[in-house]
Amino acid sequence: MYYIIFCVIAILILSALIGLKRGLFKTLFGFLAVILALGATYFVSPYVSSFIVENTEIDEYVEQKVYKKIETDTQKNVAESLKNSGVTTDLSKLTKEETKFLMENDPDKATQVQRLDSLNLPDYIRKLYIENNNDDVYKLLGVESFYKYISQYTARLVVNVISLAVTFLAIRLVLLIISLIIRKTMEEEPILSGIDRFFGMILGLAVGLVVVWIFMIIASIAFGSEYDTMIGGNEILIKLNEYNLLLRILTNISA
């Protein structure tokens, strides 16, 4: 936990110093690139995601991989249960039949919640799976069974990550070109340099906050369920995670 808060503070301080050095106008374009990318992603992401789903096979590929993994795990559990029950005949046929039955017939709600809660994911991601495990989301995703829901919902999250990255990079590229032109002009005008640098530091802190949000998302994915324990002892980290705008965009599932 201590090295996480250390990294967060280091990122914020470094961003502030960079903003101080570059000044307001230089930093502003970097900040605007982030803000516009986030804003564009929030409003455009559903359309980008729909385009990816309708015109590529990315979601189908991810869905098939996740469903196959669930099926394989279920098959292993069935084989182990049959073996523990004293079944001595060939397990291959029995295992396949039992697995097919389990995959096509939804477990009760309590078992579903237990299964979702056992996923090796951060707490906020597990809660999303549990909260969206309902008929409305099933209809939205075009699925009719619990295990299909898990695989399709995971696929949509992956698509959201891709749409977020594509939108962000596209906006960033456009503003980079504009900023290069503005920077060249600003270098020839040293007026109000002190004010420029001060407000540049403030904007640098704001940009650093976005970097921290990205860092926390990556950390949550890397450490899985351990992430909640790691940040649980620090109120600052809890609040930063709770108000992570990037995370809200990332987990926004829509048609």
Task: Provide the pLDDT for residue 6.
Answer: 81
C-beta neighbour count of 118 within 10 angstroms: 10
- 83 part of a folded domain: no
With respect to residue 255, please indicate whether it lies within any of the assigned structural domains.
Answer: no
Comparing CA positions, the residue from 149, 67, 75 lying closest to residue 106 is 149
**Cβ-contact 247, 124 below 8 angstroms:** yes
**Does residue 189 lie within any of the structural domains?**
yes
**Any domain includes 84:** no
- Burial profile 180-190: b = 16 or more Cβ within 10 angstroms, e = fewer: eeeeeebeeee
CB 200 within 8 A of CB 22: yes
d(CA 111, CA 69): 18
Structural domain of residue 199, as residue ranges? 2-59+122-141+155-250
The total of structural domains in the chain comes to 1
Determine, yes or no, domain membership for 91: no
E strand spans, 27-149: none
pTM value is 0.59
pLDDT for position 178: 76
pLDDT by position in tens, the chain (length 255):
567 788 888 888 888 887 777 777 666 776 677 777 777 777 877 788 888 888 888 888 888 888 888 877 777 766 676 666 665 555 555 566 666 777 777 778 888 888 888 877 778 888 888 998 998 998 888 888 888 888 888 888 888 888 888 877 887 787 778 777 766 666 666 665 667 778 778 878 888 898 888 888 888 888 777 877 888 778 888 888 888 888 887 777 654
| Helix axes 2-22 and 235-242, enclosed angle (nearest 10) | 70
Residue 98 in any domain: the answer is no
Asked if residue 106 is part of any domain, the answer here is no
